Amino acid sequence: MSYTSPRYTYISKQSAFDQLRQDATQAGKTIADKQATADKLKRAEDERKRKINESRLALGRGATQKYLNTVIQNSTGSEFEKGAISEYFKGTGKKVGELTMRTQGPSPVCQDEGTCDADMEELAKLLQLPGQVKTLTENMLDQLDYTDIKNIDPNQPGNYFLAANILKGATGTDPASGYSYSLRKNEITGGTEWVFKFDEAKARESFKNAKPPMSEEEINDQIEAMKFDGGKNEFAINSEGLESQTRNGGSLFIDTPEITSDINEVYADTQLFGGIKFDDKGNLVPNSGNFDMSRFLKGVKPYYIYDDNGKKILSYEGVVDKDKIANDAAFNIQIKRKLEEYLKPENSGEMTALWNMTLSGHSYDWDENEIAKEMGFETPEDMRAAWDYGEITPKMQEAFKKYYKQYMVDDAAKLMNSSSFQQHRRTSDIRNLGFANQDTDFIIEGNDPIYDAGE
């Protein structure tokens, strides 16, 4: 009988390694699945918020401004207009009189009681309060007026949209719907703030007689949509924060940049179109500008004309090459200059608005799946998703630069292919090139939508 020492007995660890690999693979898949689910839920929540803000914008536009424009009075007297400001200052006139008597005269009461410093400080604050409220209210009304902002991005934080509509008394954000606003003292800072409130119980009551009738689930969904961000029932705008933003030239709402203005500036500063002119509205002035078709020629496509006898005559028209536009040195210099401005931290809001409202929704002549992979996104939908207002990551910057330049290239090609520049595409030199290259790839047959002449 032989004996084998346990010390030298071989035990295979392969099965354990295989199991470890399987566990690691499964764990990785689980994490990826959870991340994909989280991303999907976030997109759904962002879309829900966007739709809510869009409805708020629709309600707010065209509504008339409430009485606040006429009640702002920089006065310390006892005559205050009706409404929120009047309510806030109720009783302060009497208090000012009492403190004045306590702190003035040959033998002020405060001197005997040892309260002069405190009484005089309280009186000074009361005397300054009307001016502070006036400044706060004027700034707030100015900042919350979004009616003149073109192409406003509904992805911006929703509280300010809702506060603006409450002030305007827009349908669905009026007192009957459960909304109210008032002035109050911030107990922490001591400053004044406007507070906007939503009364859920009152709102629910208003839905009881809805026509057609609403189910409990529909009412709950509507109530959630009516609340302030984060499901809160109130939102405050304080004097310190608002005045700080106004002093620094900031604003509550971001204007979406007009990309046509960017395009026109780029055209004016490059040699793509010589002598091109635009009117005050950014429209091309007819018969202005020209371009050298030979610099951007991809090929020619056939078209036909008819002589006086009705005879069909073949001719050729130049087709613009987008790649040659994209590689034009002067064109790229101007685009780089524009992008450098957008990439400055102080312009992140405008960059976000332009992405959300213009660039991400534009139809581009490229394979979105390939571009998404190149940009490091899982899907084209992820790549084109609306951005939150805040930090712009390097990945977002790269996507912005890619889309911004392509938008410019597409516009330049469209303009070159338009009827306004037809004479530059149908010169005798181009026609001769067509006849000299028949039966070659230089001839672009068919009505390719990418290079449609636009007639």
Among residues 151, 135, 393, which one has the least CA distance to residue 254? 151
Residues 6+ apart with CB under 8 A from 53: 154, 155, 156, 158, 161
Spatial contact of 303 and 431, defined as CB atoms under 8 Å apart: no
Spatial contact of 156 and 254, defined as CB atoms under 8 Å apart: yes
DSSP helix, strand, coil percent of the chain (3-state; round to 5): 55, 10, 35
Spatial contact of 146 and 60, defined as CB atoms under 8 Å apart: yes
DSSP secondary structure letter of residue 290: B
Furthest C-alpha separation in the chain: 124
The rounded distance, in Å, linking the Cα atoms of 360 and 435 is 42
DSSP secondary structure letter of residue 65: P
Spatial contact of 226 and 177, defined as CB atoms under 8 Å apart: yes
Order of all β-strands in the sheet with 179-185:
179-185, 192-198, 234-238
- Per-residue pLDDT tens for 349-395? 899 999 999 999 998 888 999 999 999 999 999 999 999 888 899 99
**Per-residue pLDDT of the chain in tens (455 residues, 90 and over written 9):** 433 433 333 344 444 444 444 554 454 455 456 566 666 777 777 777 777 766 655 544 433 222 223 233 332 222 333 356 666 666 666 666 676 777 776 677 777 788 888 878 777 776 766 776 776 777 777 778 887 788 888 888 888 888 888 888 788 888 889 999 888 888 887 778 889 999 999 999 988 888 888 999 999 999 998 999 889 999 998 877 676 665 656 677 888 999 988 998 888 777 778 777 777 776 777 777 777 888 899 999 999 988 888 899 999 999 999 999 999 998 999 999 999 999 999 899 899 999 999 999 998 888 999 999 999 999 999 999 999 888 899 999 999 999 999 999 999 999 888 888 888 899 999 999 999 999 899 999 865 443 443 33
**Token pair of 109, please?**
């009461």
Peptide bond before 212: cis, by omega within 30 degrees of 0? Answer: yes
DSSP secondary structure letter of residue 276: -
What pLDDT score does 36 carry?
63
CB atoms within 10 A of CB 90: 11
What pLDDT score does 302 carry?
93
What pLDDT score does 77 carry?
27
Among residues 292, 255, 297, which one has the least CA distance to residue 451? 297
The rounded distance, in Å, linking the Cα atoms of 317 and 298 is 11
| Per-domain residue ranges of the chain | 18-253, 260-451
DSSP secondary structure letter of residue 274: B
Give Cα separations from 322 to 65, 325, 363, 375, 444 (angstroms).
49, 5, 15, 21, 15
The two beta strands, 297-306 and 234-238, are: unpaired
The rounded distance, in Å, linking the Cα atoms of 146 and 259 is 20
Using CA of residue 46, residue 50, residue 56, residue 60, what is the dihedral sign?
Answer: positive
Spatial contact of 130 and 27, defined as CB atoms under 8 Å apart: no
Spatial contact of 345 and 320, defined as CB atoms under 8 Å apart: no
Among residues 346, 347, 360, which one has the least CA distance to residue 43? 360
The rounded distance, in Å, linking the Cα atoms of 412 and 420 is 13
The rounded distance, in Å, linking the Cα atoms of 445 and 437 is 13
Q: How many residues does the chain have?
A: 455
What pLDDT score does 54 carry?
67
What pLDDT score does 126 carry?
67
The rounded distance, in Å, linking the Cα atoms of 133 and 129 is 6
Spatial contact of 397 and 286, defined as CB atoms under 8 Å apart: no
What pLDDT score does 145 carry?
80
Q: Which residues pair with 237 in a beta bridge?
A: 194
Spatial contact of 387 and 356, defined as CB atoms under 8 Å apart: yes
Give Cα separations from 16 to 12, 21, 28, 30, 200 (angstroms).
8, 9, 18, 21, 59
Spatial contact of 371 and 383, defined as CB atoms under 8 Å apart: yes
